Amino acid sequence: MKKYLTLFACSLIIIFIAIYRLYSAYQPMVGPVGNGPNEKIIWFRFIFTILMGITALVLSVRMFIIERKKGNKDT
């Protein structure tokens, strides 16, 4: 199985989850919610998760290019 396809799919899922978590953190809430959202924690988690997803995306593209070059040398 092509490992770069799995890594590519996982990276897109991670990026989607990061965007959804940021979106849901700023949605209005009903009932007692305490002191509100903690801005530092929200943005730290968002930036960390986005960087993780982008890193996985870059690695999957790099793996694809390496495998394609390896295939061209064999033929």
Comparing 4-18, 32-46, 47-61, which segment has the lowest mean pLDDT? 32-46
Contact 17, 49 (CB under 8 A): yes
Predicted TM-score of the model (pTM): 0.82
Percent pLDDT > 70 in the chain is: 93
DSSP symbol at 27: S
% residues pLDDT > 90 (the chain): 59
How many CB atoms within 10 Å of residue 20? Answer: 10
What mean pLDDT is reported for the chain?
A: 88
As a whole number, mean pLDDT of residues 33-44 equals: 84
Range 26-39 average pLDDT: 78
